[in-house]
Structure 1
Amino acid sequence: MNIGETGIPSGTLLQRDLLQSHRQDVRLYVLTYSSEGLRVKGYLAVPDSKGPCPALIFCRGGIRKVGMPRKRRVMTMAERGYVVFAPFYRGNEGGEGRDEFGGEDRLDVIHAITMIKSLPEVKPGLVPLIGFSRGSIMALSAAKACQGVGPVVVWGGVSDLFDTYEERVDLRRMLKRVVGHPRKQIDAYQSRSPVYWVDALKVPIMIVHGTSDALVPVRHAWKLAEGLKRSGKDFAMELHEGFGHRFPREQDDKALDAVFEWLSQKLQQMEISY
């Protein structure tokens, strides 16, 4: 158990605030929890049901205001029968600390897993993760580092941050400030690039990507898939022809249905042998 400077164990729920929602079947909260002595926040969506539900962590993309988890997205996932928590990561929306784009803030996901398992609405068991865009780094880092993680979905995910630096000229200033220069801070880029540590991943992985994604080009999906295949890992890949970084609503709902069907199947398989 990690104890932060405050003396409060990481993964402790500190505060729960109910938000107004137009949906009758899902309750939405903002939670505050502890991570390495910091107060970190996130959305929690709880489906109305007669008993506890499995938990799921949704790892947002972007940094700071860009890519914040959308309430609708989190509630849509909860409608499929999961208690869903979407951490904002440290330094965001009133949380303490500094967003490091996959640095020490990756611990916020690990401690979120501990926190969500403690909630009365959550059924005991493995916790699957969905990582969107930069969130794939966070989700796969958590899967590599801790026990109790279920299958992981990488949706429009960054798999090689060196490539992102070359592809996204608009992000270079941020990356140099937060991560460093790829030719000088090589370790920092490799630690944020799942293609360099696929051997350490022990959970099933599903890759979802639009072939016309201009923000995270589809070659990130292919590189991750090639690495997983080379390492003999259990993975699936669904490429959506002509779709960009975010899918149109109808196609997005269909893709989500396929994701949750895969999650349910893999989660059941994993818990039999867990």
Structure 2
Amino acid sequence: IQSLSRSCFFRYADFTASPTHVYCVNEFGTENRLISIDRTSKEQKVVASGADFYASPRVSPDGKRIVWMQWNHVNMPWDETSIHMAVLHSDGTTSNEVVVKDGTGKQINYYCPSWKDDKLLMINDSTDFWNLYEVDIVKEKNIFPVEREIGYPLWQFADRPYASNGSCTIMNVGGRLMARRDCFVREVPTPGFTVFSHLSITEGDIVYTIASGSKKASCVLRIDLSKEEQGPVLTVIRTARDDSDLEQLDISEPEHMEFQSDGVPISAWFYKPKNRRYAAPAGTLPPVLVLGHGGPTGVAVDSLDLKKQFFTSRGFAVLDVNYRGSTGFGTKFRNMLKGQWGVVDRDDMIAAARSAIARRLVDPEKVCIMGSSAGGYLVLSALTHSDVFKAAVCHYGVADLETHKFEKGYNEVLIGKYPEDEQIYKERSPISHIDRIKTPIAFMHGKEDTVVPVSQSIEMYEKLRDNGVTTALMLFEDEGHGFRGADCIRRCTEGTYVFLCRNLGIKPSISSDIEIVNAKM
């Protein structure tokens, strides 16, 4: 292992290498750029600068070219982006930079460029779905046209929704692995696995991926495609939890559910309660916990989540909703949230609850809602516009959009420009309508959160408490935006369960240190 930099002023991410240099994204204060680092002298040189953001630098197999993606405010990496390419020199500098693909002003997203021998591969959404294209400077070819998404939004560096070794290209197509060889595409059977990320493939047609499924914990999965006549051979290299452990648990597998909201088809995953040691009283329906994922440009998938199983094993159903703006359903669906954050997603959550009630899947008097971050904002927005939810839990959710400046460009896309659209920000902020909230709600927040200030949860809690609403507040030391510590996760989960039970008239099976004020039951 060799140290290439000891600077405490720079951040480095998303690496690629040639025999003589390492290339990566470099952040210095508010400036982002691509740099090269000489592996011998450790000298750093700027490869590309001027754009607001960079990602996915990739050196060609012959070491003569480099390709990358870049974009500017107010776009997010799943909005309008461009792909650039330049000639590499032996000293780590570049020349002859060209724009291979430019979606700026065209509402086209290009991302995840890589090399297939001397050809470029990249994903774009010009067909309304993220598909994989083979590209040269003049034209591009969709190598697997399909009305399903290949890939997820680029929230973090270095995910690989596809990989190629030149002769075989492996793709994650909406939860199915597809292999393309000699212009023919076939599905790779992966029994039990439905969620894949970070794909790679060796010269010998060995695929590696992070995989999971509804009854499979996240694992490093090896798939041998080298012997076509006998089919793929799957081997789990390392797993978060052994199958033998999971077999002892009552795992509730999700069922796909679809409903209409404002005439738009919305999908969700419905988990029934499951515990072999208990049976519900005859003629009763279960309580339900309706979940709104974060992002909001995110997605609810059908992989194993033991937090959901915590509730299903204790008699709750869980309904995990892919509201408008979620990924995996095409660009048009994803863009429905632009300018409508806090409106269409809120309506979809309310419609999801009402649909489950209408189908007699759940008890209408025991419908709860929970969400984190953008999902927490969704919880608060829903409570200001509907009484269908009887209890709620908000994890580090946005209450005041005017003070939420962490993702300013993102907010402009989802809401509008500030201060020009100040009135919209006020109207969409749950704290502006706090007097409408009568539903019991608990707030949980990390004290070190730099994305959504903890003061937002504290202010909501104090105002609701003073209004006589049943509420609770749990603050966690040394936790930021997203809970990481085991003790915090345990206390948060137990507190959520106990709070919901007590406000639904259910005797909880465990205890918690959560303190509930203005309790009615």
- Same fold per superposition (TM over 0.5): yes
What root-mean-square deviation, in Å, do the aligned CA atoms of Structure 1 and Structure 2 show? 2.5
Q: Name the CA distance, whole Å, in 2 between partners of 1:25 and 1:263.
A: 21
1:158 and 2:351 correspond: no
Higher relative contact order (CA 8 A, sep 6+): 1
**Distance between the aligned counterparts of 2:309 and 2:257, measured in 1?**
15
Letter in 1 for 2:290: I
8 Å CA contact 1:61, 1:68 repeated in 2 = no
Deviations 1:43-102 (A, max 9, x none): 22222254442111112221223x756841434433332111121211422176412321
Aligned residue for 2:205? none
Cα distance in 2 between the residues matched to 1:196 and 1:70: 35
* 1:188 equivalent among 410, 421, 424: 424
Moved more, 220-229 or 82-91: 220-229
Aligned to 1:94: 329
**Amino acid across the alignment from 1:36:** D
Give the letter aligned to residue 162 of structure 1: E
Q: Give the aligned partner of residue 234 of structure 1.
A: 470
Which stretch shifts more, 71-80 or 237-246? 71-80
Which of 198, 213, 231 is residue 434 of structure 2 equivalent to? 198
Q: Secondary structure at the match of 2:438?
A: coil
**1:126 aligned partner:** 366
Residue 148 (structure 1) aligns with: 388
1:85 is the counterpart of 2:319: yes
Distance 1:91 1:148, change over 3 A: closer
Structure 1 contact 27–47 (Cα < 8 Å) conserved: no
Higher relative helix content: 1
Q: Percent identity?
A: 25
1:267 aligns with 2:487: no
Query: Given the alignment, which residue of 108, 112, 125 partners 2:348?
Result: 108
Deviations 1:150-200 (A, max 9, x none): 1111111111111112xx0xx211211220123121232123322111111
Check whether the contact 1:27–1:48 (CA below 8 A) recurs between aligned residues.
no
Asked if the contact 1:62–1:68 (Cα under 8 Å) also holds between the matched residues in 2, the reply is: no
Match of 2:415 in 1: 179
Larger displacement relative to structure 2 (195-204 or 125-134): 125-134
Specify the alignment match of 1:47 in structure 2: 273
d(CA) in 2 for partners of 1:225, 1:122? 29
Residue 64 of structure 1 is aligned with which of 280, 297, 309? Answer: 297
The code of the aligned residue for 2:294 comes to: G
Q: Distance in 1 between matches of 2:314 and 2:342?
A: 28
Assess if the C-alpha contact under 8 Å between 1:74 and 1:86 holds in 2. no
Does the Cα contact within 8 Å between 1:28 and 1:75 map onto a contact in 2?
no
- The verdict on how the C-alpha distance between 1:102 and 1:74 changes in structure 2, with shifts beyond 3 A counting, is farther
Decide whether aligned partners of structure 1 residues 61 and 192 sit closer, same or farther in structure 2, where only a CA change above 3 A counts: farther
Q: Where does 1:11-26 land on structure 2 (aligned, <5 Å)?
A: 21-22=214-215, 24-26=250-252
Supply the distance in 2 between the matched residues of 1:203 and 1:104 (Cα, whole angstroms): 21
SS at match of 1:105: helix
Aligned residues of 2:273 and 2:313 also touching (Cα < 8 A): yes
- Asked if 1:34 corresponds to 2:267, the answer is no
Taking a change above 3 Å as real, the CA distance of residues 32 and 131 of structure 1, as seen in their structure-2 partners, is same
CA distance in 2, matches of 1:223, 1:69: 33
Query: Per the alignment, in what secondary structure is the counterpart of residue 149 of structure 1?
Result: coil
- Output the CA distance in 2 between the equivalents of 1:208 and 1:69: 24
Partner residue of 1:223? 459
> CA shift at 1:26, angstroms?
0.8
| Deviation for aligned residue 1:234 | 2.2
The runs of 5 or more residues in structure 1 that have no matched partner are: 1-17
TM, length-normalised to structure 2: 0.44
Distance in 1, matches of 2:302 and 2:214, equals 13
Q: CA deviation at 1:30?
A: 2.9
The answer (yes or no) to whether the contact 2:256–2:270 under 8 Å persists in 1 is yes
**Cα distance, 1:31 vs structure 2:** 2.1
TM (norm. structure 1) is 0.81
Gaps of 5+ in 2: 1-191, 195-212, 216-245, 507-519
**What secondary structure sits across from 1:26 in the alignment?**
coil
Native 8 Å contact 2:445 2:476 kept in 1: yes
CA distance in 1, matches of 2:502, 2:439: 13
Aligned residue for 2:344, secondary structure, equals coil
* 2:492 aligned residue: 255
- Distance in 1 between residues matched to 2:401 and 2:347, nearest whole Å: 19
Distance in structure 2 (CA, Å) of the matches to 1:239 and 1:80: 25
- The alpha-carbon distance between structure 1 residues 258 and 136, as it changes in their structure 2 partners (threshold 3 A), is same
* Alpha-carbon separation, structure 1, partners of 2:465 and 2:363: 32
**Given residue 493 of structure 2, which amino acid in structure 1 is its aligned partner?**
L
Q: Is the alpha carbon distance of 1:57 and 1:259 closer, same or farther for their aligned partners in structure 2, counting shifts above 3 Å?
A: same
